[in-house]
Structure 1
Amino acid sequence: MYLRGVHAESHIPALLQLIRENPLGILTTAIKSPQYPLIQASHIPFVLDVPETADGTLSNGILRGHLAKQNPQAKVLMEAAAARKEQGHDTLELLDEVLILFNGPHHHYVTPKFYVETKPDSGKVVPTWNYSAVEVYGKVKVYCNSQSDETSSFLQRQIGDLTQQSESLIMGYTGGDRPSPWEVGDAPARYVEILKKNIIGIEIKIDRLGGKFKMSQELGKGDREGVINGFENLGTEAGEGIAKMVGERGQLKDSHNRE
C-alpha cells in the first residue's frame, strides 16, 4: 500500500477497530499450484481475536474465517496443506504469507469544486478519491481435515463466534428491547455437521498491518472545510460519513501540528 505520511495510520488499536467494524475482508493468496491460478482472492467475513502477549500488552491479533471447499482458493490452500504434510511437517501453517484487505465503511470521489480556497485562487486542483483501508499480512493455518477433532472444534467455534458477532454487532439483535439473535444451535445439529464438512477453516496470526485514512488531510483548513460542506450537502449516507471522517482526521492533523 502506498502511504503518504499525512494519510498513514500506524496506531494498532485504530487499525483493529476498523477491522472489527468492517469485518468483510478480501483474502488474497499467491500460492503455486499445478491446477489453479497463482493469485486468488475471496471476500470473507472474519472474526478478530486480540489476545494479550506474555508481557501483558495486546498482540496484533489473530483472524479467523472459513471458505467453501468448492472455492478454488480453498482448493489451493488444501493442496498446499497436503503438500506440507507429505513433506513431513507436523503443522497446519503454510509457508506462504497471505494478505487480507479491509475497507472502511465509506469511500467517495472528491470533486475539485469542493476546494473553495485553492480553486478560485490558482485553479491548480485535480479530482481524487477519499477512502480508508487496512492491510493485514501473516501466515495462514488451514483446518481442512473433516475427520479431525481439531478441525471440527475450530469450525464449530468459528461459525458460532461469527454468527454471534454478525447478529449482535451488525444486526443489533441483542435481545431485550431488541430482537433476539439467531444462533447456530437454532439449526438442526445434523444439518450443521453436514455443512461443516463442506468448509475449511483458516486462521491468520497477524505479523504486520498498516492503514491508510485518505481523508483530505493534505489540504489546507479552508479547502478541508469546503470538502466537509460539499459532502454534507450531498444529503447521502456516504456523504455524511465522509464529511465526518474528513473533520475527524483534519482535527488529528491540526492537533499533531500544534504539538
Structure 2
Amino acid sequence: MHLPSHHVEKDIPTLWKLIRDSPLGIFTTAISSSSGSFPLIQSTHIPFVLDTNDDGKEGEDYGPYGRLRAHLARQNPQCKAMIEAITGSTEAGQRTTGDDTLEQEVLVLFTSPVNHYVTPKFYTETKPVTGKVVPTWNYAAVQVYGKAKIYFDSKSDETGRFLATQIGDLSHQSETRIMDYTGQGDRPGPWKVTDAPPRYIELLQKNIVGIEIKIDRLEGKFKMSQEMSKGDRDGVVKGFKTLGTEVGMAISDIVQTRSDMHEEAKAQKKG
C-alpha cells in the first residue's frame, strides 16, 4: 500500500475499529500450484472475526496486532490450493502430523464502506486561483499481513472445536454488531447457531475449512483530503454536506475530523 505521510494511520485501535466495523475482507494468497491446477494469485471475500488482547480473554495472547479468524467453503479453489500447499494433495481430508500453517504470507484487505469520488469543484481555494486541481477518491483501508493456519481435517477434534467457535463467534458478531439484534429495548435477540438443527450444522461444518491468521503487520490509510490546503479541505467538507446523502454526510464528518487532526499535528510541531 502506498502510504504518504499525510494519509498513513498508525493507531492500532483505529485500525481494529475499521476491521470490526467492516469485517468483510478480501483474503488473498499467492501459492504456486505443484499440480498446475490453480492460478498463483487467488482472492475471496469472507467476513472475519478479530481477536485482540483487549478483549478480556484470560490466558490468550494475540500479540500486538491481534488475530483474524474466518472460514472458506471446502470446494473453493483457493481453499484447495492451500490444502495442496500443506499436504501435496488437493484431495487431502485429514492430516495427522506437521504444522498446518502456510509457508507463504497472506494478505487481507478491509475497506471502509464510507468512500466517495471528490470533484475538483469542491476545492474552493485552489481551483478559482490556479485551476491546478484534479478529481480524486476519498477512502479508508487496512491491509493485514501474516501467516495463516488452515483447519481442514474434518475428523480432527481441533478442527471441530475451531470451526464451532468460529461459526458461533461470527454469527454473534454479525447479529449484534451489524444487525443490532441485542435483545435490548425494542430490538429482537440475535439468531444463534443452536437455533438450527444440530445435524444440519454438523453437515455444513464438514464442508468448510477454518483460517486463523496471526497478524504480523498492519497498514492503515485514511485518504480524506488531508493533502489539500485548509481552505480546500473546508470546501470538501461543505461540498459533501450539500450532496444531501448519507454517505456524503459521513464523508464530510470524516474529512472534518481528519482536517482537525492535521491542524492539531501542525500546531504541535510548531509548539
**TM exceeding 0.5:** yes
Q: How many residues align?
A: 258
Please name the residue that 1:100 is paired with: 108
Q: Does 1:246 align with 2:255?
A: yes
- CA distance in structure 2 between the aligned counterparts of 1:252 and 1:148, rounded to whole angstroms: 50
Pairwise mapping of residues 53-68 of structure 1 onto structure 2 (< 5 A)? 59-68=64-73
- CA distance in structure 2 between the aligned counterparts of 1:36 and 1:228, rounded to whole angstroms: 46
- CA distance in structure 1 between the aligned counterparts of 2:218 and 2:64, rounded to whole angstroms: 11
Pairwise mapping of residues 108-257 of structure 1 onto structure 2 (< 5 A)? 108-177=116-185, 178-257=187-266
* SS of aligned partner of 2:64: coil
TM-score, with structure 1 as normaliser = 0.95
- CA distance in structure 2 between the aligned counterparts of 1:194 and 1:172, rounded to whole angstroms: 29
Runs of 4 or more above 3 Å deviation = none
Q: Does 1:83 align with 2:84?
A: no
Please name the residue that 1:9 is paired with: 9
Over 3 Å counting, the alpha-carbon distance change for 1:215 and 1:165 in structure 2 is: same
* SS of aligned partner of 1:130: strand
Q: Is the 8 A contact 2:140 2:221 kept in 1?
A: yes
- CA distance in structure 1 between the aligned counterparts of 2:137 and 2:97, rounded to whole angstroms: 46
* SS of aligned partner of 2:104: strand
CA RMSD of aligned residues (A): 2.1
- CA distance in structure 2 between the aligned counterparts of 1:29 and 1:248, rounded to whole angstroms: 35
* SS of aligned partner of 2:131: coil
Cα distance per residue 1:13-64 (max 9 Å; x no partner): 111111111100000100011211110000010000013699x996200000
Using the TM superposition, give the Cα deviation of residue 241 of structure 1 relative to its aligned residue in structure 2, in angstroms.
1.2
- CA distance in structure 2 between the aligned counterparts of 1:97 and 1:83, rounded to whole angstroms: 18
Please name the residue that 1:42 is paired with: 44
Unaligned runs of 5+ in 2: none
- CA distance in structure 2 between the aligned counterparts of 1:161 and 1:170, rounded to whole angstroms: 13
Counterpart of 1:197 in structure 2: which amino acid? K
Using the TM superposition, give the Cα deviation of residue 78 of structure 1 relative to its aligned residue in structure 2, in angstroms.
1.4
Unaligned runs of 5+ in 1: none
* SS of aligned partner of 1:94: coil
Over 3 Å counting, the alpha-carbon distance change for 1:123 and 1:245 in structure 2 is: same
* SS of aligned partner of 1:137: strand
- CA distance in structure 2 between the aligned counterparts of 1:35 and 1:115, rounded to whole angstroms: 51
- CA distance in structure 1 between the aligned counterparts of 2:246 and 2:26, rounded to whole angstroms: 24
Using the TM superposition, give the Cα deviation of residue 176 of structure 1 relative to its aligned residue in structure 2, in angstroms.
3.0
* SS of aligned partner of 2:103: strand
TM-score, with structure 2 as normaliser = 0.91
Query: Percent identical across equivalent pairs?
Result: 57
* SS of aligned partner of 1:226: helix
Q: Is the 8 A contact 2:62 2:214 kept in 1?
A: no
- CA distance in structure 2 between the aligned counterparts of 1:250 and 1:83, rounded to whole angstroms: 52
Over 3 Å counting, the alpha-carbon distance change for 1:192 and 1:140 in structure 2 is: same
